[in-house]
Amino acid sequence: MHDRTIAELTEGLKSKEFSSVEIVQNYLDKINASDLNAFITITTEMAIKQAQVADERIAKGNANILTGIPYAHKDIFCTSGVRTSAGSKMLDNFIAPYDATVSYKFNQAGLVMLGKTNMDEFAMGSSNESSFYGATRNPWNKNKVPGGSSGGSAAAVAARLAPFATGTDTGGSIRQPSSLCGVTGLKPTYGCVSRYGMIAYASSLDQAGPITQTAKDAALVLNVMAGFDEKDSTSAQRDVEDYTQSLNNSIKGLTIGLPKEFFSEGLDNNVASEIMAAVKEFEVLGASVKEISLPNSKYAIPTYYVVAPCECSSNLSRMDGVRFGHRCDKPKDLEDLYLRSRTEGFGEEVKRRIMIGSYALSSGYYDAYYLKAQKTRHLISNDFKKAFKEVDVIMGPVSPTTAFDLGSFKDPVSMYLADIYTLSANLAGLPGMSIPAGFSHNMPVGLQMIGDYWSESKLLNIAHQFQQVTEHHSQIPLKEVV
Q: Is 477 exposed, middle or buried (0-12, 13-18, 19+ CB in 10 A)?
A: buried
Catalytically annotated residue among 149, 179, 399, 457: 149
Which of 425, 372, 420 is CA-nearest to residue 190?
425
| 149 is a catalytic site residue | yes
Q: Are 137 and 156 in contact (CB under 8 A)?
A: no
DSSP characters over 288-300: EEEEE--GGGGGH
Beta bridge partners of 144: 405
Tell me how crowded residue 274 is: count the other CB atoms within 10 A of its CB. 23
Which of 442, 446, 451, 447 is CA-nearest to residue 424?
451
Cis peptide bond upstream of 149, omega within 30: yes
Q: Are 50 and 112 in contact (CB under 8 A)?
A: yes
Q: Are 183 and 158 in contact (CB under 8 A)?
A: yes
Which of 215, 218, 224, 191 is CA-nearest to residue 205?
191
Residue 274 CA, distance from chain mean position:
22
Angle at 76 between CA 75 and CA 81, to 5 degrees: 65
Catalytically annotated residue among 74, 105, 116, 144: 74
State the Cα torsion 135-444-150-433 to the nearest 10°. 170
Residues annotated as catalytic (active site), given as ranges: 74, 149, 173
